[in-house]
Amino acid sequence: MDFVMGTGRTLNKAPRTRPIKSQGEKRRRIKAQRARLVKLGLGEEDVAKMQPEEVRKRVQKPAKVKKAVAAAAAAK
């Protein structure tokens, strides 16, 4: 029985399958994340002042954001 090691397509193709991130897509994602924070109860002007890193960090923990908004509303 002859066993020949295969050299299929997976070993010959160039690494072109990884998608390239575009600036337009990045802006769309940031805009959607900012809208999500406004929906959670943060003020629109407060969200507009935030840096993108801060927006991403807060979007990841929506329960914390809701709790903070509720505490701020109770303090007023």
- Are 30 and 55 within 8 A, CB to CB? yes
Give the list of residues 6+ apart from residue 58 with CB closer than 8 angstroms, or none: 37, 42, 50, 64, 65
Residue 20: predicted pLDDT: 76
Which of 3-7, 10-14, 48-52 is modeled with the greatest confidence? 48-52
Residue 76: predicted pLDDT: 80
The single-letter code of the amino acid at 16 is R
CA atoms within 13 A on the CB side of 9: 2
Residue 71: predicted pLDDT: 94
Average pLDDT in the 13-33 region? 84
pLDDT tens digit sequence for 41-76: 999 999 999 999 999 999 999 999 999 999 999 998
Indicate the pTM of the whole model: 0.71
- As a whole number of angstroms, the distance between CA 61 and CA 58 comes to 5
Containing 59, the helix (H) or strand (E) segment is helix 52-59
